[in-house]
Structure 1
Amino acid sequence: MATDPLPLAQALIRCRSVTPADDGAMAVLEAALAPLGFACHRLRFGAIENLFARRGAGGPHLCFAGHTDVVPAGDAGAWTADPFGGEVRDGVLYGRGATDMKGAIAAFVAAVADRLAARPGAPGSLSLLITGDEEGPAVDGTARVLEWMAAHGQVPDMCLVGEPTSRARLGDVIKIGRRGSLNAAITLHGVQGHVAYPQRADNPVHRLLRVLHGLIARPLDQGTEWFEPSSLQVTSVDVGNAATNVIPAAARARLNIRFNDRHTGESLARMLRAALEAEGARFDLDVSVSGEAFLTRPGPFVEALKRAVRRATGGEPALDTGGGTSDARFIARYCPVAELGAVGTTMHKVDECTPVAELRALAALYRAVIEEALG
């Protein structure tokens, strides 16, 4: 009989692990993994609890990456169930993290338990990299654990991230890459003056609008084989001028660029700086890159995932690189990485939920992934 992931999913949901709180989630997971023979390492960086657990020492080494932290529940009164109750009603599991992504963690543990029961001496290694800092700043989570893993000879041959990638049915999408993300804050300085005497002032609002128009007037690219075109979006223009007859001394804007693998954060920062320098005014530019674009090109690992989806669901998965960022951006620096998980239609919403039957089907899918990846 297959191991049921539901009890572990409920136990994890009942931990109020809103970033950066852990509330016992890592202890719940460690208690499930240790009896399966995993060597568990609790890794705390700053205020963040993380866990790396591995069973086996040989190759190939498949790592499952995920997070126990969740976004806030919001207005609990708007939920029809306790956001941290793990209630099952009419065959559906409710709670924050049911889809993103405590349910996936429980499904993978169930898959591992079934694999070990069926093939206790099978070759290869299995590990889990679980962080409590994916929904937050992502500073003391996966990136720090990966550094620890590299220092201790624990880098995997391949990694599956259990983010809820499926759109309409389980396994219909495998993410093999993600766009990069750059945030920029621009302050363009001018000379304050009276609006009736513009020749005595230098209007920074006009200069800023010219810069922004130039940036959005032409596309950054036409897309690539695996990525859609990069997108620059102005998110704020702010002068803070309460007067109607004063030209302000400075104007500010913020923007975000979601970029494909034709660019890097550094190349886009140079582009922004060049556009501001061409305007000929004094400016400040603050750029932060939360992740570079990455791509795991179709190869042995991606093909193994596709076979697993066919085997477990009978469907043919699409390969995709859309959406926001994930911790896969850090893992891509170390090994091939892809994302495959539950149907994500309710993630971050009121009444986040997943059908129990789908949770169990996800465990069967992950079991197929283990078989196809490790043989």
Structure 2
Amino acid sequence: MTQTDPVDLTAALVRCPSVTPEEGGALTVLQTLLENAGFACTRVDRGGVSNLFARWGDKGHARSFGFNGHTDVVPLGNPDDWSMPPFGAKIKDGMLYGRGSTDMKSGVAAFVAAAIDFVTDTPPDGAVILTITGDEEGDAIDGTVALLDWMAIEGEQMSVCLVGEPTCPDRMGEMMKIGRRGSMNAWFKVTGTQGHSAYPHRALNPMPAMARLMDVLASHELDRGTDHFDTSTLAVVTIDTGNSATNVIPAETRACINIRFNDIHTGEGLSYWLRDEAAKVDAAFGTRTDVKIKISGEAFLTPPGPLSDLIGKAVKAETGIAPELSTSGGTSDARFVKDHCPVVEFGLVGQTMHAVDERVAVDQVVQLKAIYARILKDYFAQ
């Protein structure tokens, strides 16, 4: 039986210039391949974003294994800084170069290749579902969310899901993600009254109020971590006033913070705290603070159990390494999938993702396909 080559498929996807939110031909490549293998495919495009749903097996089957991933990529930066063509998929010294080669066209290629070969060689008693988006690196409003909305309407259901994001820091097989921290940004605008710096009593300087507020927020201990999560963090990322004059007290100043929070907190609870602290500073200084908040995702945890055991067993069988169960890193589309079914993330070493000369070891792509194939085999053998 002819096997689907995940390295060739990775190269074909890298050659598609799918800088978010452009589809670039990547989903077309996958849809053609999957339909030829007997998958029922549906394009679930929304808001100018391209998404692909593919299912092998009967709709509504009691048991289904799902994979989730994305084919959109971040911008190149300066193309002149690349030593290899960013969309060339050239292989040198065992490494395949190109934007998205690590994050995460190789992961998509590995699970697509594994799924095609699995259902062809040993058709399972159940369904294999692939959800692939073009909006993970962008606003993530019309990507996996759109796929899950469509699935709910159509009665499509994954029993469990594996997200193929890069999860290993240094060595293949060393880490899987069983949860993610929540993430939120908050923008503050403190308004006072402009005036001459020689007569500060005739003005209301917003700068001391902002300095106080940022110090209060940054100095606060949010928590001390949990069994599966590190301590939550708050970072002041910018304070901007734009005042070039040395003899003018400005009318307003702005700042932004980012919070990465564990499962002790919710976005709503932290939002209330931020607004409450801003109100206290306003009461002390007489200023007015406007607060704008965007919650990118809530913290979540898939407790260690059958799904993480299944994946960990397959990873160890193929790599000799028992992966650590982690919740580190940024956000991923698993934050949306967790409301649909249990979800775990496992993928390649992610050292060069988003970097100039992004590249992936071709032997790791082959190994990742083998891990995903073993996971499918073991899941449907249960």
Does the 8 Å CA contact 2:56/2:119 hold for their aligned counterparts?
A: no
1:82 aligned onto 2:85: yes
1:290 aligned onto 2:293: no
Partner of 1:106: 109
Q: Distance in 2 between matches of 1:159 and 1:116?
A: 17
Cα shift at 1:222: 0.6
**Secondary structure, counterpart of 2:50 in structure 1:** strand
Partner of 1:214: 216
Cα shift at 1:80: 2.3
Partner of 1:27: 28
Deviations 1:214-263 (A, max 9, x none): 11222111111111111111111112222212222212111111111111
Cα shift at 1:197: 2.4
Q: Map of 1:93-172 to 2, 5 A cutoff?
A: 93-120=96-123, 122-172=124-174
Does the 8 Å CA contact 1:9/1:106 hold for their aligned counterparts?
A: yes
Q: Flag as ranges the 4+ runs of structure 1 deviating above 4 A.
A: none
Q: Map of 1:250-289 to 2, 5 A cutoff?
A: 250-279=252-281, 280=283, 281-289=287-295
1:45 aligned onto 2:46: yes
Cα shift at 1:95: 1.3
**Secondary structure, counterpart of 1:123 in structure 2:** coil
Give the counterpart letter for 1:165 in structure 2.
Answer: T
**Secondary structure, counterpart of 2:223 in structure 1:** coil
Cα shift at 1:11: 1.0
Give the counterpart letter for 1:208 in structure 2.
Answer: M
Give the counterpart letter for 2:74 in structure 1.
Answer: V
Length, aligned pairs only: 374
Does the 8 Å CA contact 2:160/2:341 hold for their aligned counterparts?
A: yes
Q: Distance in 1 between matches of 2:191 and 2:357?
A: 47
Partner of 1:175: 177
Q: Distance in 2 between matches of 1:72 and 1:200?
A: 48
Which deviates more, 107-116 or 304-313? 107-116
Give the counterpart letter for 2:89 in structure 1.
Answer: G
Does the 8 Å CA contact 2:114/2:372 hold for their aligned counterparts?
A: yes
Cα shift at 1:168: 1.8
Q: 2:95 aligns with which of 85, 92, 113?
A: 92
Does the 8 Å CA contact 1:291/1:325 hold for their aligned counterparts?
A: yes
**Secondary structure, counterpart of 2:313 in structure 1:** helix
Q: Which runs of 5+ in 1 are unaligned?
A: none
Does the 8 Å CA contact 1:307/1:372 hold for their aligned counterparts?
A: no
Q: Aligned residues: percent identity?
A: 50
TM (normalized to structure 1)?
Answer: 0.97
Cα shift at 1:99: 1.0
Deviations 1:308-347 (A, max 9, x none): 1112212110011111111111111111111101111111
Does the 8 Å CA contact 1:146/1:155 hold for their aligned counterparts?
A: no
Give the counterpart letter for 2:147 in structure 1.
Answer: V
**Secondary structure, counterpart of 1:229 in structure 2:** coil
Q: Distance in 1 between matches of 2:72 and 2:216?
A: 40
Partner of 2:371: 365
**Secondary structure, counterpart of 2:45 in structure 1:** strand
1:63 aligned onto 2:69: no
Partner of 1:339: 345
Q: Distance in 2 between matches of 1:206 and 1:90?
A: 56
Partner of 1:6: 7
TM (normalized to structure 2)?
Answer: 0.95
**Secondary structure, counterpart of 1:104 in structure 2:** helix
Q: Map of 1:189-268 to 2, 5 A cutoff?
A: 189-268=191-270
Cα shift at 1:199: 2.3
Q: 1:355 aligns with which of 350, 354, 361?
A: 361
Q: Distance in 2 between matches of 1:78 and 1:211?
A: 40
Give the counterpart letter for 1:347 in structure 2.
Answer: M
Q: Distance in 1 between matches of 2:335 and 2:148?
A: 12
Give the counterpart letter for 1:59 in structure 2.
Answer: A
Give the counterpart letter for 2:7 in structure 1.
Answer: L
**Secondary structure, counterpart of 1:101 in structure 2:** helix
Deviations 1:166-188 (A, max 9, x none): 12221211011111111111111
Q: 1:303 aligns with which of 283, 304, 309?
A: 309
- Please give the root-mean-square deviation of Cα atoms over the aligned residues, in Å: 1.3
Give the counterpart letter for 1:334 in structure 2.
Answer: H
Q: Which runs of 5+ in 2 are unaligned?
A: none
